[in-house]
Amino acid sequence: GQQLNQSPQSMFIQEGEDVSMNCTSSSIFNTWLWYKQDPGEGPVLLIALYKAGELTSNGRLTAQFGITRKDSFLNISASIPSDVGIYFCAGQQGGSEKLVFGKGTKLTVNP
C-alpha cells in the first residue's frame, strides 16, 4: 500500500532549540495531518492542512503542505520538555476516507 516516508526517526535536542521533521511520498495527497502521541495515549491531532502551499500555525508549531502535494513538514520552535513524544504525519488521498501514517519521529527534549 501507499507509504509515507517520515524523517528523522528520532531527535535528541536541548530545551529551547527548534525542531523540524518532514514527510514525503511518491504520490499526491489531498490532506496532510500531523499528530502527537504521548506514552499510553492515542494520537492527538496538532495541525490539519488542506491546500498545497498552505502554511498553518498552532502555537509554537508550524506545518506546511508542500507545493507538489507530495510532502509536508512540521516545525516546533523553542522546544520545551512537554514536547517529548512521537510525532506522526498522516495523509489522505483523493477519493479515499482512509489515512496513511508515517512511521513517526520520536522527540526527546533535554532540559
Partner 1 sequence: SAVISQKPSRDICQRGTSLTIQCQVDSQVTMMFWYRQQPGQSLTLIATANQGSEATYESGFVIDKFPISRPNLTFSTLTVSNMSPEDSSIYLCSHDRVGAEAFFGQGTRLTVV
Q: Which parts of this chain interact with partner 1 (CB under 8 A)?
A: 1, 30-31, 33, 35, 40-45, 48, 50, 88, 90, 92, 97-99, 101-104
Give min distance, CB of 16 to partner 1, in A.
Answer: 28
Give min distance, CB of 14 to partner 1, in A.
Answer: 24
Partners of residue 45 on adjacent β-strands: 35
Other CB atoms within a 10 A radius of the CB of residue 96 amount to 10
Joined grid coordinates for residue 20: 523540524
Pick 3 or 77: Cβ nearer partner 1? 3
Joined grid coordinates for residue 69: 502535494
Give min distance, CB of 48 to partner 1, in A.
Answer: 5
User: How many CA atoms lie less than 13 Å away from 38 in the CB half-sphere?
Assistant: 7
Pick 45 or 78: Cβ nearer partner 1? 45
Joined grid coordinates for residue 106: 520520536
Give min distance, CB of 94 to partner 1, in A.
Answer: 11
Pick 17 or 98: Cβ nearer partner 1? 98
Whole-angstrom distance, CA of residue 59 vs CA of residue 39: 22
